[in-house]
Amino acid sequence: MIFGALSLLAIRYICKAKHVANQPGETAVQKIEFDWFSLPASESIEWHPCYSEYKCARLLLPLDYLSPPGYGPNATIALQMLPATDKQSYRGTILINPGGPGGSGTYAVMETGKNISRIVGGSYDILGFDPRGTGATLPGLHCYESEAQYQIWTQSIRNTWVNLTEGATPLMVAREDAVGQLCENKIGGSGREDVNGTAEEWGAGRFVSSASVATDMLKITEKLGQEKLKYWGFSYGSILGQYFAAMYPDKIERMIIDGVYDAQEYVKASYTTNLVDNDVIVEAFFTFCHQAGPEKCPLYEPSPEAIKARVDAIINKVESTPVPVPFAEHGPMVFSKKLLYELIFIMTYKPILFFPDLATMLIGAERNNGSAISAVVNKFLPDYECACERKQPWLESNEALMAIGCGDGDELTFDPDYYDAYLANMTAQARFGGPFWAMYHVRCSQWRVRPKWRYTGPFAADNTSHPILIVEPRYDAVCPLSDARKVHKRYGGAGLLVQNSYGHCSTSAPSLCTALHIRAYFENGTLPQEGTECEVDELPFIGRVNDKEVNMLSAEDAELLDALRGLSRAAPVFMPWR
């Protein structure tokens, strides 16, 4: 639960979809109808055609790895694969995880699989799987009676937040207490855990831990006919990679973890290190806006400091006088300080893609331009409209984030004095992200469903059967380089590649240098030399750099750079708690 309650690209679905395919929640491929539950579930991987050019399967695995084989109910894991394009040089299957917890790997392979395939060289199948409790994998983690009930509950506090709204903390604690009790009843089990018990009786929320998912990854690899895992995990996917490398160090053929959070911090449920570089990215907004000039950045001023002063004035204006937007797409809204802070934080994840939207929104607030504000807000935080028909279960919101993230972590108890100090520390660390990140503590303190199997470390290995590769931006929005360096030291022989960029994961900024190292690693197992750093080929507001060099690229490298740009536009990102 380090990366957000809802996925901007993969998890949040609108009951009556009105946004268009180029918005951050939907692509044309998502519109293709496919019934996951029509596929037969099997103890072997049986591929079936799906989504035109993909293959899908549903794999039966033990719900509880601590029970004897064949005892009790199963988990049904949804798998979706993009076949390799280079059959002559076929190298096997790479598993991907887009982040979360709660990200759908089957959706991610549709959204990013083709560009990932182009980057790694086309000789691999690219396989996305829905981890337990997510997407089309069963049992699901649904605490509410309907999507409408869930959305009404979350929308009811849209402009209320800790540290931004007076008296918000006690209200948030009470709300999370209510959700914790609701989910304990729905997914915590009845206490019956015998051979004939159902997954509901055993408690679906008790069997979604990262230890179980890492073991699922091992079983998937074996059932693919591969001796060892090949994997590229982003964001929370870096946590899964650390679990796997610690639990099964002799089962790694290739592993890249990208946008790395230290699993030793994650398992403590402390969440105190994530945002140490977030404000640096906000400061970069002022710098790049100034460097780009008035033609590319409408907030341009003669210096970065002047741009910052202008933005601060806009923030103060919104705080003192929230902006009424009577004709927003889904009805009247008020643009509040809470929405402004939330969106600024979200936009630090992908500065190249999102900083222009941030400038548009700020100008709109400065000029009381409701249309400009509404266009940006609805793009990132779309309102809910209910057409009343039930969505397919794999498209509905779920509680995977809390079940996995809170369950993996140490049990927490809410203490008001501790929380006041914690909130103050997080807000000092990250002006815009701190209040949202601090909600993790509130939610986990009220979460009641605990996992039967919880791996707590050590998150280390003297050696892995092949060294893992850690890829990390210089300034990551929520997974700092300092954490990546800690992880690098604990896994013997691991390589570390630093990309001099701003944003979450290397995919937030295209870098041909990074892509060439990733391809070399997957094709030949080659690690970058110690201390290797990569520059990027595009910057926020400024756009493409090194155009002369780009024009001299080989056809292969030009194709690779194009794939990178596609991946940076489509790669999943995750929102803070809503």
Burial label for 543, CB within 10 Å (0-12, 13-18, 19+), is exposed
* Lowest mean pLDDT, pick from 149-153, 418-422, 521-525: 149-153
CA dihedral 75, 80, 83, 84 (to 10 degrees): -80
Residue 335 maps to a domain:
no
Which tokens is 119 given?
Answer: 């980057």
> Is residue 473 situated within a structural domain?
yes
Q: Which two tokens stand for residue 307?
A: 């741009």
What pLDDT, on a 0 to 100 scale, did the predictor assign at position 445?
97
- Say if CB 494 and CB 469 are below 8 A apart: yes
Percent of all residues in the chain with a pLDDT value above 90, rounded to a whole number: 80
DSSP state of 65: T
Confidence of residue 486 (pLDDT cuts 50, 70, 90): very high
d(CA 347, CA 540): 11
**Over the stretch 250-268, which tens digit does the pLDDT of each residue have?**
999 999 999 999 999 999 9
In a domain, 308, yes or no: no
Q: Could you read off the pLDDT of 229-243 as tens digits, one per residue?
A: 999 999 999 999 999
pLDDT of residue 22: 35
Residue 6 has pLDDT above 70, yes or no: no
- Say which CATH number the domain at 556 has: 3.40.50.1820
Residue 42 to residue 467: CA distance in whole angstroms: 33
Better-scored residue on pLDDT, 509 or 30: 509
Q: How far apart are CA 349 and CA 575, in angstroms?
A: 9
Average pLDDT over residues 167-173: 94
Q: What is the mean pLDDT of the chain?
A: 91
Contact 207, 451 (CB under 8 A): yes
Does any domain span residue 337?
no
Residue 1, pLDDT score:
45
Q: Which of 28-32, 206-210, 554-558 ranks highest by mean pLDDT? A: 206-210
In the DSSP assignment, the letter for residue 574 is B
Q: Is 68 exposed, middle or buried (0-12, 13-18, 19+ CB in 10 A)?
A: exposed
Task: Tell me: pLDDT of 575 over 60.
Answer: no
79-93 confidence digits (pLDDT tens): 999 999 999 999 999
Q: Is residue 441 part of a domain?
A: no
Mean pLDDT on 87-107: 95
Task: Indicate the number of domains in the chain.
Answer: 1
Q: Which range marks the domain in which residue 474 is found? A: 38-140+203-272+454-570
Q: Is the pLDDT of residue 142 over 60?
A: yes
123, part of any domain: yes
Q: What is the rounded CA–CA span in Å between residue 427 and residue 481?
A: 20
Looking at residue 28, what is its pLDDT?
42
Q: Is residue 135 part of a domain?
A: yes
Under 8 Å CB-to-CB from 11, ≥6 apart: which residues?
100, 102, 103, 104, 134, 397, 398
Mean pLDDT over 161-177 rounds to 91
Overall pTM surpassing 0.85 (yes/no): yes
Q: Look at 64-78, 187-201, 374-388, 552-566 and tell me which has the smallest mean pLDDT.
A: 374-388
Domain assignment of residue 541, yes or no:
yes
pLDDT of residue 187: 97
